[in-house]
Chains A and B, each alone.
Chain A
Amino acid sequence: GAGVSQSPSNKVTEKGKDVELRCDPISGHTALYWYRQSLGQGLEFLIYFQGNSAPDKSGLPSDRFSAERTGGSVSTLTIQRTQQEDSAVYLCASSLIRANYGYTFGSGTRLTVV
């Protein structure tokens, strides 16, 4: 597609349930990033994938969070045993290989844990 596609756009889940968020990056973009943004807060880095290299997981807030990227394209962010503090907008972005390009963001998944 022309842009970064994320699904679902909204997700309401009960505390303790697992959720999966999906990101389909721009075709040809080798780098894929996950950020989250809580209400009124800045963007918090979670994880990034670059080509076939091991992902940078340094931003994942706990071991309940994991992500994978299959075939160098689609990525799934999984949150296990969700907590209320996980409520946020989860944003995926992709980028070309050159560092002087910015990222293109998807429209995000708004996660609400009740």
Chain B
Amino acid sequence: RKEVEQDPGPFNVPEGATVAFNCTYSNSASQSFFWYRQDCRKEPKLLMSVYSSGNEDGRFTAQLNRASQYISLLIRDSKLSDSATYLCVVNIKDRGSTLGRLYFGRGTQLTVWP
């Protein structure tokens, strides 16, 4: 079983729509959580961290449910420039490790059309 599971999509939405992505993780020892964005043929870039209390960054809202091991990303008022693949990421720290390492979901593809 993969550490991080995401619906691969694709999601095709019109400009201005609200779209939500979900993700589940399997390891309860997961310690920190992120959403990354990856444009076609580019490297992943950090979009936002995800906190237990939920957090918002402009049009983007991230939620974490530790009990259900579930992470979500909501994008409001979608823009054409939001078209990309969104990667759900968890950090799992092995015993004895200071940092742990990141486990990536396969990504959810979003296309916003005019």
**Is the beta-carbon distance between B101 and A45 smaller than 8 angstroms?**
yes
- Contact digits for B77-114, partner A, Cβ 8 Å, 1 yes 0 no: 00000000001010101000111111111110000000
Q: Does B59 contact A (CB under 8 A)?
A: no
Query: Interface range on chain B: under 10, 10 to 19, 20 to 34, or 35 or more?
Result: 20 to 34
Kindly list chain B residues whose C-beta atoms are within 8 Å of the C-beta of A42: 87, 104-107
Kindly list chain A residues whose C-beta atoms are within 8 Å of the C-beta of B93: 99
Kindly list chain A residues whose C-beta atoms are within 8 Å of the C-beta of B46: 102-104
**Is the beta-carbon distance between B43 and A102 smaller than 8 angstroms?**
no
A residues lining the B interface (CB < 8 Å): 31, 33, 35, 41-43, 45, 48, 50-51, 53, 56, 91, 95, 97, 99-100, 102-108
Can you add 9 more A-B contacts, CB < 8 Å, to A42-B105, A50-B97, A97-B98?
A: A31-B99, A43-B44, A45-B103, A100-B91, A102-B49, A103-B102, A105-B43, A105-B44, A107-B43
